[in-house]
Every structure is written in C-alpha cells, then in structure tokens.
Structure 1
C-alpha cells in the first residue's frame, strides 16, 4: 500500500489535515485521506475514533472555504483489528478551495500533484476563481422569501434529528446576503417545481394514459411520492409451487431507486426543468437536465469521478439517508443495467431500463434452510439479499414498504439465527450477505 494522487495516509489528525483536503477538493478526481495509517502503508490505528471523527468534521466545517459540506463522508473501517478513519472527498465545483485561516492565497490554496499536496501559483488561483460556477443554486436568490419548511423539519425528525432556529444557515439555505437561496426554494413547503411521472400505452408517446404531477412541495416529499408511484408500477410477477414462492419485479428495485434519486439530486435546476419519468409497455425512461454540460467527461463519470451539481442538495439527501455514499448509486445501476442504459447528451441524461420479461423458473437443488412455504416474508427478504448483497437493513425495509421496519428486523434476525446470512464489513459501510 502506498500513497497515490488519490490517496493520502496520516498517522494521526494534525494541523495539516485541511491542506490535504483542500488539495483533493481542487483536484479533478477528488481523493481519500486515511487517518491511522503511516506514509508507507503500515497500520497504526486510531485510539478514539469517535472523538477523532468529531474533530475531523469540525475542521472540515470551519477550516475550509468555500464550504465543502456535502462533498465528503467520514467512516470508520477495521484493518488488522485496528480502527482507521476514511475520509472520502469529492472534487468540488467552487474552486479554488482554500484553508480559511490563510485565505485565497498561495499559502491557503493547494492541489494534488502525484502523491503530495502542492501550493498553487497565483495564476492558477486567479484562473480557477474566474471559472468558478457563480450561478450555483446556493448563490441564486429565491424568487420567494415567504418560505416555510414544516415538511423538511418532519423528515429530519423521522430520523431522530431536529432542526433548530439556525437550520437555514446550517443547511446553507441562505445567500451571502442572508436571503433564501434556490435550494431553500426547492426544499420549501410550497414552490413552483413539479416532477412528472407519465405512463403510455405501447412503446411510444402517442397514447398517454396517465400524467401524474408530484411537486409544488418540498423536493424531499416529491422524491418519496415518485418512489412510491414507481414501486406500485414495478409490479412483481410470481411463481408459486409446492416448495416456495419466487418473485420477479419488472425492474431491479435497488437500481431503479438509485436512478430515481440520482436524477433528482443531480438535476440541473438552474434550467428550471425538473426530471421526468416515463413508463412504457417495454421500458421506463428517466430523464434529467444537465448531461455533458455538468459532468464534462463521460469516461470519468462512469469511473465515479462526477461532482454533485449541488452540494447543498446532496448534503440534505445524505442527512435524510436517501443517499448512502458518494458515487455508490451509480455502481448499483451499472451492476444491473450496464453503461448501455445511459444516454448522455450535451444538455440532458437519460436512463432507459427495459422490463425483465424472462420466464420465472423454479431453482433446482437450492436449499437455503428456511422453512419454505411457511414464512413467505422471510424468503422474500432472503431473495432480496441474495440479489443485492451486500445490503443494509434500511435498504431492505425500503424495498418492502408495505411491511413495518420491526417486521423486517424480525425476518433478518431469523435468517441470522439460522446461519443463513451474516453482516460483513463496518457498521456504516457493510451489509448483509449469504453465508
């Protein structure tokens, strides 16, 4: 293991930490900083990982400008039975980023060169600043200032978080002048944004049989409404025999959900065109604005080096656990439908998922030890884990929304007690797999 242009090792958290993060934020591909690993790759470990994580987040929040909230995630991993901390950093759009105490200067601005973080020249700083995306959603003043956020507060309360009186500032819903920005407008209880879910008879757009509008409300509420609608449309075919019940949805549930979230989170709302979802007899099409105008490079996009269009929206969706890890949703889509399911143009991106019309066949010679035919719910959960492993419990619960979280937890416990599944990996990054 050695340091590279995308990997930095640090034995412990030091005053130079912000410098390394700034260098990755300003670099094209972002990078990863590990705390608890020596420069030669030797595992040292972190004695108090919880306290160190808090210090890291504090440094990232207060020590770097422009704000990098929504562009990083901090997790704990185990190597050689020692805790190490991994900080995954996405490349930012508001370059140049700099260490706040040194300002936008050669002492504060860094970029990754090989395996080291080097100071930028004044010309580099001026060039990046000139190219900075000035019209980001965070800088655009909302057309309305009489905004309320009761829906957003409820969603935060559902996951055990409470928004205090300073939530608008903390969530970066304000411009530098203190006005609500366009992100606030999208997250408000009422706005002019609506997401369309259309359904056609046949394989073209001639015969429209349904035209649903989900919106004029918080973007979070609209997202959940779209997910619920598509879950209803994702009707499951079933094969029931004397031995077991096997189900097959029309589209892979995990990949479909990730495509929906990606389209909504990464949509270019500066165009005032929300994403569109269209259902045909043979496929579903998911279209969002942006395309090459925002991702710039298609090859890098598929390699996982894309930047979120709005780190403010990304941060809120991560808070509410609608997004798990940076770039993870793309991998889930590619693993099922491949690159050919993406149609990337200059100003838009479209996912095309064809229905799974294969005949359902009974597995022969497969015995996983569950009391087949008696507890259908357990077997459905098992089948979902088998097809999507490793998978977290909350993802399983979202897939079976008509069943309570407590019921899903009981199914998982039964499967673990019978040594059919196990949890592999760190608590935040691992998931359930078949033994």
Structure 2
C-alpha cells in the first residue's frame, strides 16, 4: 500500500488495534464486494503499527470464525504487511458465496447484517437481506435461510412423535430444516409454530362474494393448518343419508372427504411460498374453490398434470408430509379427484395462470335410491337400527368414511386422515367401536378396524 492510498473507502477499513466492532466491517465486506481491514492504522490513515503480529492475526481470525455466520473463513485471509516500514496486519475478506452473513449473536436481521456504503458499514434493510437470500438460494424457497431464527416446533414435534419418527437435530438436518451451518431454513419456518403463511377460508351466501356466512384465517405450522382447515371444510360438507334395499345405511356427501383432503394437500404442498398473500378456500352453495399461489412449474403442462406426472415445487416439504403419511404417493392426487367425478355431469375445473392455480370442485348431484330417504338431520324410520352417522363428530366421521371406502382402517391411517395425534386417534377409534360402528380385527401391529354391517 502506498502513502496516497491511506484513505478509508468502500474496500478499506482502518483499526488501530483489533476490536470486537471490527466484525461488522468483516460482515459488510463479505456481503458486498469484499475489502481489507488494516490493523495498526488510525482512522485518519496514520500508521501506528502492531506490536505482536501473530497474536493480532490469531485474535482477528478467531473472532471472525466464532462471531460470523455462515462460516466465512473460506473467504478470509490474514497476513503481515509493512507500510512505511511499519508492520501491520491485513485481514482480507472476499465477497462470500453464502450471503447474507451476519453477527452470530444478532441473527439474520438489520442489527446483525451489514453492508458496505462508501467508507461505512451500515445495517442492511430487510429488503436487502431478502434479496441476498434469494440470490444465494436461487429459486428454492424452502432451502433459503429463514429470516426468523427464533423458531419453536410444538406442532411438528407432536406430529413426528405420533408418527414414530425422530425430530432430533440430526433428523432436522437430513430433512432440510437446517443447513450445513445449523441455520434454520424456510422449510423449518413453514413447519414452525411461527409460520405466517396463512390460509383464508370463507363461506359465501352468493356467487359474487359480497355476503359472508363464515370466515376464518389459519396460521402457524402447516401441519396445524392442515388439520384445522380440514375440520373447517368438513363442517360445511353436508351428508345425505338413506336406507337401501338391504336395510343398510348409505351416506352420500356433497363432496367426497378424501377428495377434499387431496385438494387441501395440494394447496399446502404445491404452494409458491415465495409469493406474498394467503391461499384461499371459498365455499359456495354449489361448489368449492381452492385458490393457490403459484402456477405450473417450468415446462410442466396441464396434460402432464392430468396424466399423474408429479413436479414438486417444494420437494422437501412434500417429503415431510410423505414421511408423516399425510401424502400416500406422489402424483396421484389429481387422478383421485377426477376418478371421484367420473360419473358426474359437472366435472372439476382447473384454472391455471403464471402465478395462480384454482381448483373448482362442484357439489355431487348423486341420486339416492332406497326404501327410505333421510336428510342429515332426520331420524331413521321406526324399527330401523339407529346408525345415524351424520351427527358424528368430524374426526369420527372421517375415520368411518375411510374405513367404509377402503374396507378397514389402522390407527396410523386414522391419524393421517384426521391430522390428529396418536392418543386422539385411538380415543376416536375406541368411541366408534363402542358405538358398534367399527369392529377390531387382528392384534399388535396388525390391528385394524372394519366397519360393522348395519
């Protein structure tokens, strides 16, 4: 360095000795275009020198290694230089590849993230931090570093425990909730109790959405939202019952519970969480709408989707739901929905744009043919055994419907269908057994429950 260069600027910072505040300059250089911190030089450029070169280099590199996250040491070097024959320490910091870098004790927020502006290191704005995260993570929202690092996982821990899966730091790393620097990713944020990516559900009295009959917004862990929104929808899915020629009770839902479940899973798993705004569920007198943020990925086409080809926008989120047995298989949801409507005059509709995906499910118009026809609020004719399932609590009805459609249900399947904990699923099944709506078969891990013949 020549005498004329002894002026602080965008790439130069002077310190008489190493102080803890110098880490801010190191962060700023790593987040901007790189630079050098000269130790042994006053702010005005006067060279005072360093008495112990080795100790100063050790203190500087140790402070940067311990105090800055993610690990920036691959972009840092320290060496001895002479200015006017006076020994100083030069700490060179290159622009890092894993921005934003931040002070470990401050976190990913303006108080911890600095950038270089002229000769000063200043706090980065939240928008600047988000831009750095996007540039580093590319198009993968779930892999990007979460702005909120103060996360809790009460709902996720319960769901993993109920599924018999570990929720340890190692498993979180394997699933992608933390990265190589043990920093929470956006996937962790989506599963955390602090998640603010919301779903809004509403029931309308008219087609123009002017009169609300009911509405609610759901936040928190996506695992919690899945259970709560599913329950909200179920309350608005009427069942019409009749007794057939064999004197058996037959229940017809306006919407198949399993189809609603698939629609909910698609809404959560395939959403573009990089776009602001809630997902929307609208319930009308003759149809339901599921409006999601994010169109089809890349060159993925409507024909691909209808043929059951799966393209994952959030593969790690989908993997979590798959491991928790909330998703049974990839690429089967659309085919299940269409299969449910194969005999219907009005078919589901898919409205797709660049940034939105809307599924419209028409209400089933199935005719009930039998000895006696009853509504969900009517009593059975005298002499017929009362197996009125329309008045069952939502979880009991979901479990019974699954058992009827598949012939049986296990405890784990009951958890998956209802989104309930293991203890709640067991209690719900036992209630159905006591009502003689389900009967137990097998034992131990082979236990299942079959619908009783009525």
TM-score by length of 2: 0.54
1:173 aligned residue:
177
Within 2, Cα distance between the matches of 1:160 and 1:141? 28
C-alpha contact (below 8 Å) 1:385/1:432 kept by paired residues? no
Q: Is the 8 A contact 1:238 1:246 kept in 2?
A: yes
2:264 and 2:299 mapped to 1: Cα distance?
18
In structure 2, how many angstroms separate the alpha carbons of the residues matched to 1:260 and 1:381? Answer: 14
How far the C-alpha of 1:407 sits from its partner, in A, is 5.3
The residue aligned with 2:232 is: 229
For the pair 1:342 / 2:350, whether they are aligned, the reply is: yes
Q: 1:359-378 maps to which residues of 2 (within 5 A)? A: 359-362=367-370, 373=385
Distance 1:357 1:397, change over 3 A: farther
2:396 is the counterpart of 1:405:
no
Cα pair distance change 1:398/1:357, threshold 3 Å: farther
1:254 aligns to 2:258 (yes or no)? yes
C-alpha change, 1:409 and 1:137, in structure 2 (3 Å) is farther
Q: Which protein has greater RCO, CA pairs closer than 8 Å, 6+ apart?
A: 1
Q: Is the 8 A contact 1:277 1:287 kept in 2?
A: yes
SS of structure 2 residue aligned to 1:271: coil
SS in 2 for 1:314: helix
CA shift, 1:332, in A, is: 1.3
Kept in 2, the 8 Å contact 1:295–1:306? The answer is no
Kindly indicate whether residue 340 of structure 2 is the aligned counterpart of residue 328 of structure 1.
no
In 2, Cα distance between equivalents of 1:295 and 1:363 = 53
Change in 2 beyond 3 A, CA 1:179/1:381: closer
Contact 1:294–1:309 (Cα < 8 Å) also in 2: no
CA contact (8 A) 2:205 2:213 kept: yes
Distance change in 2, residues 1:230/1:381 (3 Å): closer
**How far 1:318 moved relative to its partner?**
1.1
Going from structure 1 to structure 2, the CA distance change for 1:135 and 1:178 (only over 3 Å counts) comes to farther
Match of 2:319, SS state, is helix
Partner SS for 1:233: coil
- Do the aligned partners of residues 386 and 280 (structure 1) sit closer, same or farther apart at CA in structure 2, a change above 3 Å counting? same
TM-score (norm: length of structure 1): 0.56
| Residue 280 of structure 1, CA deviation | 0.8
Aligned counterpart, 2:43: none
**In 2, Cα distance between the equivalents of 1:292 and 1:220?**
24
Aligned to 1:194: 198
Q: What residue in structure 2 maps to residue 314 of structure 1?
A: 318
Q: Deviations over 1:341-399 (max 9, x none)?
A: 322222211111112244432179xxxxxx9736566xx89994697447754556766
Alignment CA distance shift 1:398-1:363 (3 Å): farther
Q: Is the 8 A contact 1:293 1:347 kept in 2?
A: no
Question: Which secondary structure state, in structure 2, belongs to the residue aligned with residue 287 of structure 1?
Answer: strand
Structure 1 residues 182 and 361: CA distance shift in structure 2, 3 A: same
SS class of match (2:359): strand
1:5-404 maps to which residues of 2 (within 5 A)? 134-215=138-219, 217-239=220-242, 243-293=247-297, 296-337=300-341, 340-362=348-370, 373=385, 384=401, 388-389=405-406, 393=410, 395=413, 404=428
Q: Kindly tell me: are residues 385 and 277 of structure 1, through their superposed partners in 2, closer, same or farther at Cα, counting changes over 3 Å?
A: closer
Q: State how far apart, in whole Å, the 2-side matches of 1:180 and 1:397 are.
A: 27
- Residue 274 to residue 238, structure 1, CA distance change in 2 (3 Å): same
Residue 372 and residue 332 in structure 1: after superposition, are their counterparts in 2 closer, same or farther (change >3 A)?
farther
Tell me which residue corresponds to 1:98: none
Once residues 198 and 359 of structure 1 are traced to their aligned partners in structure 2, the CA distance between those partners, rounded to angstroms, is 28
Report the Cα offset of residue 176 of structure 1.
Answer: 4.5
More displaced stretch, 186-195 vs 237-246: 237-246
Backbone CA RMSD of aligned residues: 3.9
Provide the rounded CA distance (Å) in 2 between the counterparts of 1:233 and 1:239. Answer: 20
Q: State the alpha-carbon separation in 2 of the partners of residues 243 and 225 from structure 1.
A: 35
Q: C-alpha distance in 1, partners of 2:237/2:229? A: 12
Q: What is the alpha-carbon distance in structure 1 between the residues aligned to residue 186 and residue 310 of structure 2?
A: 22
Taking a change above 3 Å as real, the CA distance of residues 358 and 184 of structure 1, as seen in their structure-2 partners, is: same
Q: Determine which structure has more spread, i.e. the larger CA radius of gyration.
A: 2
How many angstroms does 1:229 deviate by? 0.8
Q: CA deviation at 1:315?
A: 1.2
